[in-house]
Chains A and B, each alone.
Chain A
Amino acid sequence: MNTDTLSPYILTLVTFVPLAGALLLTVLPRRDRDIRVIAFLVSLITFGLSLHLPVYFHRVIGGFQFEIDKSWISSPNIHYHMAIDGISMWLVVLTTFLTPLCVLISWKTVHDRVKEFFILLLILETALIGVFTSLDLFLFYFFWEATLIPMALLIGVFGHERKVYAAVKFFMYTMIASVFMLAGILWLYAHTGSFDFVVIRDLISRGQVSNFPAAAQWLFLGFFIAFAVKVPLFPFHTWLPDAHVEAPTAGSVLLAGVLLKMGTYGMLRFNLGLFPEQSRSNASWIMALALIGIIYGALVAMVQPNMKKLIAYSSVSHLGFVVLGIFSFTQSGLNGAMFVMLAHGISTGGLFMLAGILHERRHTYEISEFGGLATPMPVYATSYLFIVLASVGLPLLNGFVGEFLVLNGAFQAKPIYGILGATGVIWSACYLLWMFQRVFYGKVTHPINNGLADMLGFEKAAVWPCAIAAMVMGVAPILWLAAIDPAVQATLNALPQMVSKVVGQ
């Protein structure tokens, strides 16, 4: 059988196989080992299925592919409409790539309520994939909200000391923000009679939505605030360090690796797609916030005594690059934003796994508790350095490509944006390398650290795929950009006059 016959159903499969796996786990007896194995197999099968997408993806087409559109509820007019383009495809693959690694890294670190843990993890995977594949605004909102509950439970049940506080803060922040998006979606439905992204976009671009000019700015802000909190854009970022520090390792990996990208993906797809003019008129202050995020995130990261908090603030800084790239409205900036999203997912996911490995051994994230770890843990130190360099943006590793493209785009938009943004690259080298030096170099400062075991098999299996992916992405970015570029081009084509205006400023 030609696997291409799968194409109409592949998105449904990729999205719901993890959920089916979760349901299977609910009926299984509580034998922890079996549960782990099955969770791993399910996530691996999902990854395998998701590889169907890049294999059969037509790279020259900028539009949506693998489309499935079925009427689901007639009133309101909700469709089961899923499709992907070059932008969302890689985010789906990123999700399916990270999930098996999350299962591996949790293999021995989760002892209590193992069954619940993996059920939540798989439900979370379904919700995350659904966010990227849905083209019906209602479906999108459903998956968007559906990510909240498993994530909040992962933090609140399996987290560290202040887990409840962090979980509730995470839930309330993102829930309240997305209510504004819901209001926007309802407004659009009330005035267009459709939830379909493509239909609404076309109606708006043809000016056939009544009262739209008066409401557009508010709608833009309603969507934007939901996404900005998720990114998180300065000054909406305060939930992130708490959530990360308290989350279990797998939760942090998916939170930083994929969940934050929901925000930037939303900006790219919905803010730019539905409200091109408002995106342009609001671009200046959004870019300013992005720049503040880049620099502020980096400066705060530098002074963190807690390794996980440091990585969390580095996410604020890196995601600032993504927003900067998106609102530069240049081909290069958008390509770069997409690439930073993927690269950050891989490298920060890796960093969180590495931090988790250390926590598993010492039950602390305090940098001052470590020092000279390179001696007892050479393999660990090498892996760590590799991922740190990828995150810093060393050429030939994945961080470099994205940041370069973003800065290039930002510079085209306005030189000062490029110049200020470029300082972020320097900062990131400062805080990450300084942290690395304090943790790994010199003499072993605490005798207890002498006896630390080096990486175990399952830990290597979790971290090394990230390292390999970081290198492949750095050496051959074209493999990814070939699909991203047409999709970005299509997004930009919808706003042709804008590019020239921004660039011409």
Chain B
Amino acid sequence: MMPLAQIQAIPQGADYIRILPELVLSIFGIVIMVLDPLVDEEKSQKTLGLIGFIGTLAGLASTWYMARQPWGLAFSKTIRVDGFSIFFNYLVIAIAAVVILSSFEYMAVQKIRAGEYYALILFSAVGMTLMSSAIELVLIFIGLEISSISTYILAGFRRNEASSAESSLKYFLLGSFATAFFLYGVALMFGATGSTNIDIISQRLQSSPAEMLVYTSMALMFVGLGFKVAAAPFHVWTPDVYEGAPAPVVGFMSTAPKAAAFAVLLRVVFSINVPGRFWFLWVAAALSMTLGNVGALVQNNVKRLLAYSSIAHAGYLLVAFAMTTPDTSLNGISAAMFYTAAYAAMNVGAFAVVSHLANAGERYVNLEDYEGLGRSSPLLAATLTVFLLSLIGIPMTGGFFAKFYVFSAALRANLIWLTIIGVLNSAVGAYYYLRIIVVMYMRESRKEVPVGPVSLGLALALAITFVATLYLGILPNRVLQVAQHSAHDLLPAASGAAGVAQNPRPTGNTN
């Protein structure tokens, strides 16, 4: 897609370092696939899961190593390592690690014996890290497909359940349809500007005014990405897919692919600065918040409830995209990055609890199954309460600062009405999260719901997400500063220095 002269014939060592996390994760994924038929079926779960977990740790370590090397472009300027991509690398791999931890027990309880489960999570993470570091639209598309196809399969992992098959198929059909839109948008963008490289597109659009074709292309790309982040009006698939898919997988796919898709959206929206994008982001944000919250009000199935809640949260996040000037854009980008991190912590945690309570065959996922949980397992109930309070946006939790940064960025950009819609929505949202808390603490259980002991892996996963949620709520500084630095990487024009920052900066772990 670019002139041949620009393509370097031989990639250099630095190129490989800049995709080190992807390489490491792929290697571990392949190792799991190779070992799967070799290890004893009874033990395969533990062994392969452990390898998967070590793979994610190695992925985090390689990201750390990569962040310490000089940043910059790689592979014929299709990959860019900067603060922004490192932030999302950390986030996505950390989510994968926590989800793997919380899956051990779930897989054992559901009696699913399949090592490729862990390999798929790793491959999916490869696709997502690629999405966050690619600046070439075609490569982004490939990353999107890698991550999507893995998640389609993951959604269908409860093989004996019809609902899981439905979930997988629905996700697959609608998802491929949506990615086709994205590809169509990329094609139109190539037609309009003669390139699929975001940097080059951005330069060309600065010199010549945007034409209709560019608008259309942006709109089509937004359709594809809007589907991935479950933003209204492309959200209809979410409740059904979340309901059928295995609970830890829902924890994964409601956060990691979303984070990656938001990363792409941030790059596309803010790097390719198309005037006029404002209104469709505004409408999508307002619609997602409202439809998500209103839909969640009447849900009785906790997974469906959290599905609608994730639509609403995509809406809050999109508020941060409706910025137009470079100055407000910086606020918006850092707010959105912080939001993805905070949302990941609390939502993965919430689904970890849900997956534990679901029990064999996911029998106990309705609201009435949570009755009396405050008495029967107080620790689990208290943990879930913290995640729910964070989802409401109560101060001292990550969810509060996430909303806070988004809304204050919106207020500084004078988006008064969008802020009002958002604030009212968070008040509505409080109601349904509260319903779960009320049921847990204020009702006595009417039927016997067995709650097994919490395994070590799950306890670890809960501890990580719990600490992360509170850390982001009490000391949000460090993560926010990292996000703010990274926002400059995305908007070279605003920071005054064109091009890519070459100096590595210390970055915080964002899990």
Contact = CB atoms under 8 A, between A and B. Distances in A.
21 contacts: A75-B481, A76-B405, A76-B408, A113-B375, A116-B378, A149-B389, A153-B441, A156-B441, A157-B374, A163-B442, A164-B438, A167-B442, A171-B430, A172-B430, A172-B431, A175-B427, A175-B430, A176-B430, A186-B407, A190-B408, A190-B412
Contacts of B430: 171-172, 175-176
A76 B404 contact: yes
Contact of A168 (B374, B412, B438): B438
A183 interface: yes
Interface in A169-205: 171-172, 175-176, 179-180, 182-183, 186-187, 189-190
B500 interface: no
Given A76-B404, A142-B396, A179-B423, 13 more contacts: A73-B475, A73-B477, A74-B481, A75-B481, A138-B395, A149-B389, A149-B394, A156-B438, A156-B441, A157-B442, A172-B434, A179-B426, A186-B419
Contacts of A167: 438, 442
Contacts of A180: 423
A141 interface: yes
B418 interface: no
B411 interface: yes
Contacts of A187: 411
A157 B412 contact: no
A299 to B, nearest CB: 32
B277 interface: no
A75 B438 contact: no
A190 B405 CA distance: 11
B476 interface: yes
A75 B334 CA distance: 11
A146 interface: yes
B434 A171 contact: yes
Contacts of A168: 434, 438
Nearest to A180: B423
A277 interface: no
Interface string A323-334: 000000000000
A142 B442 contact: no
Interface in B401-435: 404-405, 407-408, 411-412, 419-420, 423-424, 426-427, 430-431, 434
A74 B441 contact: no
A146 B427 CA distance: 15
B443 interface: yes
B329 interface: no
A369 interface: no
Contact of B423 (A73, A153, A157, A183): A183
Interface string B371-399: 00011001000000000010000111000
A165 B213 CA distance: 55
Contact of A156 (B404, B408, B426, B442): B442
A74 B394 contact: no
A190 B438 contact: no
A189 B442 CA distance: 38
A145 interface: yes
A269 to B, nearest CB: 19
Interface in A108-161: 113, 116, 138, 141-142, 145-146, 149, 153, 156-157
Contacts of A186: 404, 407-408, 411, 419
Contacts of B374: 157
Contacts of A179: 423-424, 426-427
Contact of A73 (B378, B476, B484): B476
* The 3 nearest A-B residue pairs measured at CB: A142-B395, A156-B442, A190-B411
B474 to A, nearest CB: 9
A297 to B, nearest CB: 27
Contacts of B434: 168, 171-172
B176 to A, nearest CB: 40
Interface of B: 374-375, 378, 389, 394-396, 404-405, 407-408, 411-412, 419-420, 423-424, 426-427, 430-431, 434, 438, 441-443, 475-477, 480-481, 484
How large, as a class, is the contact surface on chain A?
20 to 34
B396 A146 contact: yes
Nearest to B375: A113
Interface string A374-385: 000000000000
Given A168-B434, A172-B431, A175-B427, A183 B419 contact: yes
Contacts of A190: 408, 411-412
Contacts of B419: 183, 186
Contacts of B438: 156, 164, 167-168
Contacts of A146: 394-396
Given A73-B476, A168-B434, A190-B408, A183 B420 contact: yes
Contacts of B477: 73-75
Contacts, number: 68
Contacts of A75: 477, 480-481, 484
A163 B443 CA distance: 10
A133 to B, nearest CB: 16
A148 to B, nearest CB: 8
B420 to A, nearest CB: 7
Contacts of B411: 186-187, 190
B441 to A, nearest CB: 5
A145 B403 CA distance: 15
Nearest to A218: B416
A27 B412 CA distance: 45
Nearest to A171: B434
Nearest to B426: A179
B472 to A, nearest CB: 11
Nearest to A115: B378
B484 A164 contact: no
Tell which of B396, B434, B480 has the most Cβ of chain A within 10 Å.
B434
Nearest to B374: A157
Contacts of A73: 475-477
A367 B466 CA distance: 48
Contacts of A176: 427, 430
A316 to B, nearest CB: 24
Contact of A164 (B412, B424, B443): B443
Interface in A78-117: 113, 116
A163 B426 CA distance: 24
A175 B434 CA distance: 11
Nearest to A112: B375
A74 B395 CA distance: 16
Nearest to B413: A190
Nearest to A139: B395
Contacts of B412: 190
Nearest to A75: B480
Interface in A188-228: 189-190
Nearest to A148: B394
Contacts of B405: 76
Contacts of A182: 423
A298 B420 CA distance: 37
A164 B442 contact: yes
Contacts of A113: 375
Contacts of B407: 186
Contacts of A116: 378
A360 B439 CA distance: 27
A68 to B, nearest CB: 18
A189 B441 contact: no
Interface string A398-415: 000000000000000000
A499 B280 CA distance: 51
Nearest to A155: B442
A146 B395 CA distance: 8
A141 B408 CA distance: 15
Nearest to B422: A183
Contacts of B426: 179
Contacts of B420: 183
A171 B395 CA distance: 15
Contacts of B431: 172
Contacts of B394: 145-146, 149
A168 B396 CA distance: 22
